[in-house]
Structure 1
Amino acid sequence: MEKSRHILVVDDDLEIRNLLQAYLEQNGYRVTTVGEGKTMNRVLEEQRIDLVVLDLMLPGADGLELCRNLRVKSKIPIIMLTARGDEMDRILGLEMGADDYLPKPFNPRELLARIKVVLRRTTALPFEQQESTTRTLRFADWSLNPIARHLESGAGLVVPLSGAEYRLLKVFLDHPNRVLNRDQLLDLTQGREADPFDRSIDVLISRLRRRLEDDPKDPAIIKTVRGEGYIFAVQVKAGNPLT
């Protein structure tokens, strides 16, 4: 039940904290609010939190640093609140491991919708994907360990992935040889529709190409289909279950 979900709101604006607490509690959630990182860490140690709403601009350690540190030790879903139009901060937030972002100012109803999508995506795994989460996925000269979330080349080189890179690569591995447009990629990786000015998917694809491709400017694995989207153009094989 949604009433069992505990949301931690981290924002130095008292008015925003009070507004979100009242609105989310009206919609059946437990809510704790704090104004900075030290208190956030104490709450996380003392209580079970199901999702963190984390503002980027905070006194002391900023949201990006807090997000990175939290992701190292926990898989708690994080929704980042960012300044409108600050695309680089949104991309950095995703790379640090945030599950989604919402630019300020925002409608609390939209945040509520994002919370529901992120919680649904992180707590309910579709049956057809359960097996692939415990199997090594092999493609081209690479293998992906879905538990450790790192790539390994045929020569044994281990390449760690950011949270955003891992989610995007996993979507491609689950849908090989199929054209996926930006709207579909955003929906599958972040559970939301694309903003016409949001280029985060394109940036992440460029980063993946630099990791995977011999020549990122002439990619053989993640190809662009002009006017349609992107296609993962190599065969994917699942290895033995990981133990």
Structure 2
Amino acid sequence: MKNARILVVEDQEDLANLLKDYLQQEQWQVDLIHHGDEVEPFIQQHMVDVVLLDIMLPGKNGMDICRDIRKTSDVPIIMTTARVDEIDRILGLEIGANDYVCKPYSPRELVARVKVWLRQKAKPCVPAVIELNTDRLQVSCGDARIELTMVECRLLEKMMSQPSRVFSRSQLMDAVYDDGRIVSDRTIDSHIKKLRARLKIIQPEQELIHAIYGCGYKYEESR
């Protein structure tokens, strides 16, 4: 996708300029922002095709920026950070990031990831085809595949068995834990939170697990 506009949000100016050089080789227009407070006003005033967003920024941090961008825009966001803990990656994906790259990274790899999201953005919207393999504890969509824990697999299997049906937390508990143990609602909510983040990796275009206030959760693919 030539002439795409890429926004690089990175406070390390040397790294930002290096990325700009690599991105411009693809004939893309590149804008640089070094301060978190400037990102949202820029996006509100300009059409951007992909955002490369650092987490640790002066002013507003990348997590808060991502969360607020998602209130008004579905622009692909690739988060870049030196924070490598799994919980940080899951949180980033859960609040709306499309991809997550840990520093230090290869600029060429980042360019390749931008190309993936530009191609994805250019594709016509098609319904998700999600396949669950309970023997391998895997869920896939097209060529994308992720591993699940046993608990996550059982949760997903239960909800996928009757799409659009709302399951209460107690029903989901019974499906996940067959030994009669006592589990709090918060435990189920925590597992659902992690499962949602994993599903975003293989199907970033839509939410597959929906919370129904005061009732529970349901699995439903958009049509």
TM-score (norm. length: structure 1):
0.59
Q: Which amino acid aligns with 1:8?
A: L
- What's the RMSD between the two structures over aligned residues? 3.6
Aligned to 1:72, what secondary structure does the other structure show?
A: coil
8 Å Cα contact 1:82/1:89 also seen in 2? no
C-alpha separation in 1, matches of 2:101 and 2:95: 15
Query: Aligned residues: percent identity?
Result: 36
Q: Report the counterpart of residue 62 of structure 2 in structure 1.
A: 63
Change (3 A) 1:88 1:33: same
Instruction: State the Cα distance separating 1:183 from its structure 2 match.
Output: 8.2
Instruction: State the Cα distance separating 1:5 from its structure 2 match.
Output: 0.6
Please, which of 148, 153, 172 is the counterpart of residue 215 of structure 1? 172
Please, which of 139, 144, 151 is the counterpart of residue 188 of structure 1? 144
Aligned to 2:58, what secondary structure does the other structure show?
A: coil
C-alpha separation in 1, matches of 2:105 and 2:58: 21
TM-score (norm. length: structure 2):
0.64
C-alpha separation in 2, matches of 1:49 and 1:100: 16
Instruction: State the Cα distance separating 1:40 from its structure 2 match.
Output: 1.4
Q: Which amino acid aligns with 2:130?
A: H
Change (3 A) 1:218 1:66: same
Change (3 A) 1:84 1:69: closer
Q: Report the counterpart of residue 123 of structure 1 in structure 2.
A: 122
Which segments of 5 or more consecutive residues in structure 1 lack a partner in the other structure?
133-169, 221-235
8 Å Cα contact 1:84/1:105 also seen in 2? no
Task: Tell me, yes or no, if structure 1 residue 29 matches structure 2 residue 28.
Answer: yes
Cα deviation code 1:59-106 (max 9, x no counterpart): 121111000000011111100012253221111100000000100000
C-alpha separation in 2, matches of 1:237 and 1:50: 28
Change (3 A) 1:78 1:219: same
8 Å Cα contact 2:137/2:150 also seen in 1? no
Q: Report the counterpart of residue 229 of structure 1 in structure 2.
A: none
Aligned to 2:102, what secondary structure does the other structure show?
A: strand
Change (3 A) 1:217 1:88: farther
Q: Which amino acid aligns with 1:47?
A: H
Query: Which sits farther off after the overlay, 48-57 or 178-187?
Result: 178-187
Give aligned pairs, total. Answer: 171
Which segments of 5 or more consecutive residues in structure 2 lack a partner in the other structure?
160-166, 178-218
Change (3 A) 1:106 1:86: same
